Amino acid sequence: MRSDQVVASRIPVSVLVVVYTTDAKILLLERCQPMKFWQSVTGSLEQGEVPADAALREILEETGLTDQGELTDAGRSRVFTIDSRWQNRYAPGVSENTEHEWHYRLEHSVDIRLCDAEHSAYRWFDIDDAIDAVWSWTNKEALENLKAGLK
């Protein structure tokens, strides 16, 4: 990168979208970098974007899904400390991110089109296995809340 190029910093507001089926199968994506781990659909808001639009955009970008499911606001958000492996993506001095939880319900599991730059695999998990598989505490909490709501 040339020294005169400016890299836009990420906005420290994001969405986490739990994609699931009516029979509680959970879609997880295996992240490629900076390390391999399982996660739900996630992403930062873009300038001027609201969480609902970011959730739909991230679903499309990361899975190829469009209008196959029903998107709902879970009505929860969490603040977490930005992991040092991602810190360079944010402006200096930014140390926390606010993550908004969304749910995307499908009738049944479907094939996914991955964004190869971000993810190397996908899998439909039973909900308890998904809770065990995800890396972040916010993702675990979102899955636990979904599970409690499905009973």
Question: Each residue of 21-38: pLDDT tens digit?
Answer: 999 999 999 998 778 999
Q: Please return the burial class of 22, using the count of CB atoms within 10 Å of its CB with bins 0-12, 13-18 and 19+.
A: exposed
> Rounded to two decimals, what is the model's pTM?
0.91
pLDDT of residue 78: 97
Domain-located, residue 44: yes
Domain-located, residue 48: yes
Parts of the chain with a pLDDT under 70: 1-8
pLDDT of residue 1: 38
**Domain that residue 85 falls in:** 13-150
Domain-located, residue 21: yes
Domain-located, residue 29: yes
Which of these, 107, 148, 109, lies nearest to 131 by C-alpha position? 148
CATH number, domain containing residue 45: 3.90.79.10
Question: Each residue of 37-55: pLDDT tens digit?
Answer: 999 999 999 999 999 999 9
pLDDT of residue 118: 87
Domain-located, residue 3: no
State how many domains the chain has.
1
Domain-located, residue 8: no
